[in-house]
C-alpha cells in the first residue's frame, strides 16, 4: 500500500448517539474511505449503550483489517465509579492506542504510549513536555487555540510527538453534569429515554433573532456552525501538522473525507473545496478560533 500524502486524515469518535446499525454502516463507509486513522468509542455519555465495548472491539478489528490505524477514545467527563471501571478496561487492553480525554485517563495510561484529545488542556509546550514524559506521543490542539499559538508550540514540541488538529466538524464547546437534550424534552437525566437518539447531529439552539448558534448534544454543547480548516491547508502543512481530524456528522462524512483527500493529494484547490464543504454542513462554516477571532466567525475567503 502506498503512503497517503501528508497530512494524514483521522475520523474523530462519533460525538452523537446513533443506533447500532447506523454506527456499523458508518464504519463500513469509513473502512473504504481515504481516512488513515479512526478514533472509536463513546466520549460524551456513559448511558449511551447501543454499542458496547465488545462491539467497539469488533469494529476496531474490521477497520484494522481495512488498513486503518485504530485508536480507542474515552469519556471526556468522568464522574461515576462505573465510568472509571469502563475506562480501566479500555486503558488496560494492549491492542490499540488510547486517546485520553481527561487527566484521569492519563493517570491510568502513564508509562505506555497514549494520545490526548482536545478536551485535555494542552495550552503550552511545558504541558506537552510533561505529558510526553508520561508516554504521550500524540496530542490534539485544543479547539480555541490559534494558528500563532500552534506555531509557537510546534517550534518547541517534544521529539516524536505527533500533532493533530480538529479540522472539520461542529466544535466541542462545553461539558456539563446536566443533560441539555433531556432538559429540552422535559425529562430528568436519570430517565432520559435515550432522548438524544432523535438528534443525530445534536439539537440546534437558535437565538431569539433566529441565529443558529449552538447544538445541544446530551451533556455536551457544540457550535451550530462547522469548523472548517481545509482552506488553511498550506498553513497547516507549513506548521508540520501531522494529522487533520474530521468529526463525524450523520450525513456526508464520506464526501467530506473525499474532499479533504482530494485537496491533500493536490487534485483540488483548498478554496474550491471550501465551497463544496459548506454545502455539506448542517448550519454553515466557521474558523474564527484558528484566525484569532471569535470562534463563530467565518473568515476564510472561500
Partner 1 sequence: MELVCPAGNLPSLKAAVDNGADAVYTGFRDDTNARHFAGLNFTAGKLADGIRYAKGKGKRVFIAMNTYPRPDGIARFEEAVDQAAALGVDALICADIGVLDYAARRQPKLNLHLSVQGSATNYEALRYYHEHFGIRRAVLPRVLSMAQIEHVIEQSPVEIEVFGFGSLCVMVEGRCILSSYATGRSPNTYGACSPASHVEWIETDTGLDTRLGGVLIQRHAKGENVGYPTLCKGTYRTDGRTYHAIEDPVSLNAMALLPQLAAAGVAAVKIEGRQRSPVYVKQVTRVWREALDAFARDPEHFAPQAEWTAELAKVSEGAQTTLGPYHRPWQ
Rounded CA separation 260/264 (Å): 6
Cβ pair 285, 256 in contact under 8 A: no
**Is residue 165 within the footprint of partner 1 (CB under 8 A)?**
no
Q: Which of these, 127, 46, 121, 47, lies nearest to 90 by C-alpha position?
A: 46
**Is residue 81 within the footprint of partner 1 (CB under 8 A)?**
yes
Output DSSP code: residue 191.
G
Binds partner 1 (CB under 8 A): choice among 89, 238, 269, 294: 294
192 is known to lie in a ligand binding site: yes
**Is residue 51 within the footprint of partner 1 (CB under 8 A)?**
no
Rounded CA separation 256/229 (Å): 12
What does the per-residue mask of binding to partner 1 show for 215-244, with x meaning CB under 8 A?
A: -x----x-x---------------------
Of residues 195 and 259, the one with the C-beta less far from partner 1 = 195
Sites for partner 1 among residues 184-203 (CB under 8 A): 184, 188-190, 203
Size of the site for partner 1 (CB under 8 A): 67
Instruction: Extract long-range pairs of 192-197: CB within 8 Å, 24+ residues apart.
Output: 192/47, 194/17, 194/47, 194/48, 196/16, 196/17, 196/45, 196/48, 197/17, 197/18, 197/19
**Is residue 105 within the footprint of partner 1 (CB under 8 A)?**
yes
Which helix (H) or strand (E) segment holds residue 154: the answer is helix 147-155
**Is residue 78 within the footprint of partner 1 (CB under 8 A)?**
yes
Rounded CA separation 161/181 (Å): 37
**Which range binds partner 1 by CB under 8 A, 5-13, 52-60, 63-71, 209-217?**
209-217
Q: Which residue in the block uniquely carries the three cell numbers 456552525? A: 225
196 is known to lie in a ligand binding site: yes
**Is residue 124 within the footprint of partner 1 (CB under 8 A)?**
yes
Cβ pair 223, 282 in contact under 8 A: no
Q: How far is the CB of 104 from partner 1 (least distance, A)?
A: 4
Site residues, partner 1 (CB under 8 A): 76-81, 83-84, 87, 102-108, 110, 119, 121, 123-127, 129-131, 143-145, 149, 152-153, 156, 171, 173-178, 180, 183-184, 188-190, 203-209, 211, 213-214, 216, 221, 223, 288-289, 292-296
Amino acid at each position: 500500500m502506498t503512503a497517503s500524502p501528508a497530512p494524514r486524515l483521522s475520523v474523530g469518535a462519533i460525538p452523537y448517539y446513533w443506533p447500532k446499525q447506523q454506527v456499523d454502516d458508518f464504519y463500513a463507509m469509513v473502512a473504504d474511505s481515504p481516512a488513515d486513522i479512526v478514533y472509536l468509542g463513546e466520549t460524551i455519555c456513559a448511558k449511551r449503550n447501543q454499542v458496547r465495548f465488545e462491539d467497539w472491539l469488533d469494529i476496531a478489528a474490521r477497520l484494522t483489517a481495512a488498513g486503518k490505524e485504530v485508536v480507542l477514545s474515552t469519556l471526556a467527563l468522568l464522574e461515576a465509579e462505573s465510568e472509571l471501571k469502563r475506562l480501566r478496561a479500555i486503558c488496560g487492553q494492549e491492542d490499540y492506542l488510547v486517546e485520553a480525554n481527561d487527566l484521569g485517563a492519563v493517570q491510568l495510561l502513564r508509562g505506555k504510549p497514549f494520545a490526548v484529545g482536545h478536551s485535555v488542556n494542552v495550552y503550552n509546550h511545558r504541558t506537552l513536555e510533561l505529558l510526553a514524559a508520561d508516554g504521550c506521543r500524540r496530542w490534539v490542539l485544543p479547539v480555541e487555540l490559534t494558528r500563532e499559538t500552534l506555531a509557537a508550540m510546534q517550534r518547541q514540541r517534544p521529539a516524536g510527538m505527533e500533532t493533530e488538529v480538529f479540522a472539520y466538524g461542529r466544535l466541542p464547546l462545553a461539558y456539563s453534569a446536566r443533560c441539555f437534550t433531556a432538559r429540552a424534552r422535559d425529562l430528568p437525566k436519570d430517565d432520559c429515554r435515550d432522548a438524544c437518539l432523535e438528534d443525530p447531529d445534536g439539537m440546534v439552539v437558535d437565538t431569539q433573532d433566529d441565529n443558529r448558534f449552538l447544538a445541544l448534544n446530551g451533556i455536551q454543547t457544540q457550535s451550530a456552525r462547522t469548523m472548517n480548516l481545509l482552506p488553511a491547508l498550506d498553513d497547516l502543512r507549513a506548521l508540520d501538522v501531522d494529522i487533520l481530524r474530521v468529526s463525524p456528522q450523520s450525513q456526508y462524512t464520506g464526501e467530506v473525507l473525499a474532499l479533504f483527500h482530494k485537496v491533500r493529494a493536490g487534485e483540488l484547490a483548498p478554496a474550491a473545496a471550501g465551497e463544496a464543504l459548506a454545502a455539506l454542513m448542517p448550519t454553515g462554516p466557521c474558523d474564527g478560533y484558528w484566525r484569532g477571532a471569535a470562534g463563530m466567525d467565518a473568515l476564510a475567503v472561500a
